[in-house]
């Protein structure tokens, strides 16, 4: 009887120890997972979140490239550079209706939008809707050597052409 009780007690102790070991391991595992999650969150927070965008300025040739009557379409930049009577100016090729890219018209002077039929004259004024506004003019600068730079992030008033 006494031996039987001692055996039962020994089984109970070893069973309790294995349960305790299991719970300890479970707790340590939960702490490790939580610690790893916190470490990853802190590492993500410390990583710089910089948005790299392409430059808004680009070289557009020289003043001599734009005698009066010249219209050049820079497809990559979505910009027209025009040599007008008042000087050189640049304007956005993005239609003011819903943002399609306009194109120079073939056969007649002007600019047309392929999406809904808007038309613009060579100064960007609307000659046929539905575009609600003229094409915006963009800043053009020339250095001392006559090299032109267009900045697509700076909109200027219509009529403010760069004097050649
Ligand atoms: S987007 Fe140009 S006319 Fe509609």
- Kindly give the distance from the C-alpha atom of residue 75 to the centroid of ligand 1, in angstroms, as a whole number: 17
- The candidate with the shortest Cα–Cα distance to 111, out of 132, 135, 85, 130, is 135
State the pLDDT at residue 86: 83
Ligand 1 atom with minimal separation from the 99 CA = 1
Peptide bond into 134 cis (omega under 30): no
Ligand 1 pocket, Cβ-based, cut-off 6 angstroms: 95, 97-98, 100, 113, 115-118, 130-131
Please give the pLDDT value at position 13. 61
Ranges of the chain whose pLDDT falls below 50: 2
Which pLDDT value is given to residue 11? Answer: 55
Q: Which pLDDT does position 68 carry in this prediction? A: 86
pTM for the whole structure: 0.66
Q: Are 101 and 95 in contact (CB under 8 A)?
A: yes
């Amino acid at each position: 009887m006494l031996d039987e009780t001692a055996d039962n007690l020994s089984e109970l102790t070893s069973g309790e120890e294995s349960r305790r070991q299991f719970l300890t391991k479970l707790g340590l595992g939960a702490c490790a997972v939580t610690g790893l999650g916190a470490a990853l969150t802190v590492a993500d927070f410390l990583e710089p979140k910089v948005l790299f965008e392409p430059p808004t300025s680009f070289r557009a040739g020289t003043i001599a490239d734009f005698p009066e009557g010249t219209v050049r379409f820079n497809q990559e930049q979505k910009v027209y550079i025009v040599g007008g009577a008042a000087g050189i100016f640049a304007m956005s090729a993005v239609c003011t209706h819903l943002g399609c890219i306009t194109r120079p018209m073939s056969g007649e002077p002007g600019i047309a939008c392929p999406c809904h039929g808007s038309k613009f004259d060579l100064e960007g004024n609307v000659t046929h809707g539905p575009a609600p506004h003229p094409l915006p003019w963009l800043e053009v600068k020339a250095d001392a050597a006559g090299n032109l730079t267009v900045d697509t992030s700076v909109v200027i008033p219509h009529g403010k052409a760069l004097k050649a």
